[in-house]
């Protein structure tokens, strides 16, 4: 591929990424935003945002928020959403996640492995006033989260080796594992207990536990419990037992 072709391809990818970002921003502002507000939030020139929004508007992915100004998500997204095949695993495991969240009082998540990340596909909020949450659909780093390390430990060796070659272990906090030598020792320990731990390795102030499992259609998945650090140390043994019981009960049901 020529240099000019590579630059053109990179430019197209950047525009697509920015268009997706605009849709996600508008999803958080259901009443709509003006072009100026969008440009400020995204830290882009107003002219760039205007061009992308105009293209999205032509496909009804965004529409005018009012007769005067602003844009909001459009009706074409409803068609796309209705065409998404539901995750059978999410439906089947939901009551088990609800029970785990009720037993622990902490936020519980289900993630699946996708292209080198853990993608959150379901979340049940905890009952504590101070609780940890993330967004369904968000991607989490495999090496810095309990849910990610649990899935890494459960991978066949040839798949893990492929990830070793392409996944840098970037520091996320001072506690993040950043060498594969240390990570391999961690994964060996996880294989022995099935429970992975994140002790402020992804975000300071947040810890988590994770257990991997095979989904209904053979997909790699994992359940995690997210805990503020202040409650983690005193409760980690009980939390580990609870999440193991949840996953084992679900797999027996399957």
State pLDDT tens for residues 76-104.
888 887 776 555 788 888 999 999 999 99
**Sheet (strand 206-214) strand order:** 139-141, 117-124, 107-114, 220-228, 206-214, 196-199
- The C-alpha atoms of residue 205 and residue 229 are separated, in whole angstroms, by 5
Site of tokens 């797999």: 251
Rg (CA), the chain: 21
In the chain, the largest separation of any two C-alpha atoms, in whole Å, equals 62
pLDDT 10s digit of each residue in the chain, 254 long?
A: 455 555 556 677 888 989 999 998 998 888 889 999 999 999 999 999 999 999 999 989 999 887 666 899 988 888 887 776 555 788 888 999 999 999 999 999 999 998 888 999 999 998 876 667 677 888 899 999 999 999 999 999 999 999 898 888 999 999 999 999 999 999 999 999 999 999 999 999 999 999 998 876 677 899 999 999 999 989 999 999 999 999 998 888 76
Which pLDDT value is given to residue 138?
Answer: 85
- 146 — phi, psi (to 5°)? -65, -40
Burial of 211 (0-12, 13-18, 19+ CB in 10 A): buried
State pLDDT tens for residues 117-159.
899 999 999 887 666 767 788 889 999 999 999 999 999 999 9
In the structure encoding, which two tokens stand for residue 148, read together?
Answer: 């990610």
- The C-alpha atoms of residue 178 and residue 169 are separated, in whole angstroms, by 5
pTM: 0.67
Task: Choose among 151, 152, 86: nearest CA to 122.
Answer: 86
Could you tell me the domains of the chain?
3-82 (1.10.10.10), 88-253 (3.30.450.40)
């Amino acid at each position: 591929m020529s240099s000019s072709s590579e630059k053109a391809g990179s430019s197209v990818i950047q525009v697509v990424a920015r268009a997706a970002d605009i849709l996600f921003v508008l999803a958080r502002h259901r009443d709509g935003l003006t072009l100026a507000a969008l440009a400020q939030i995204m830290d882009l020139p107003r002219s760039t945002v205007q061009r992308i929004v105009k293209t999205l508007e032509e496909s009804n992915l965004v529409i005018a928020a009012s007769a005067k100004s602003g844009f909001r998500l459009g009706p074409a997204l409803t068609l796309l959403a209705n065409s998404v095949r539901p995750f059978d695993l999410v439906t089947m495991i939901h009551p088990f996640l609800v029970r785990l969240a009720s037993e622990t009082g902490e936020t519980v998540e289900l993630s699946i492995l996708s292209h080198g990340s853990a993608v959150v596909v379901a979340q049940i909020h905890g009952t504590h006033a101070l609780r940890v949450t993330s967004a369904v659909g968000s991607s989490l780093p495999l090496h810095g989260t309990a849910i990610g390390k649990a899935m890494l430990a459960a991978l066949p060796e040839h798949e893990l080796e492929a990830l070793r070659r392409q996944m840098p272990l970037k520091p996320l906090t001072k506690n993040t594992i950043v060498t594969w030598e240390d990570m391999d020792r961690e994964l060996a320990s996880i294989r022995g207990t099935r429970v992975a731990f994140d002790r402020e390795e992804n975000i300071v102030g947040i810890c988590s536990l994770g257990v991997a499992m095979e989904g209904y259609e053979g997909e790699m998945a994992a359940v995690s419990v997210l805990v503020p650090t202040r409650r983690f140390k005193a409760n980690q043994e009980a939390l580990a037992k609870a999440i193991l019981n949840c996953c084992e009960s679900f797999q027996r049901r399957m």
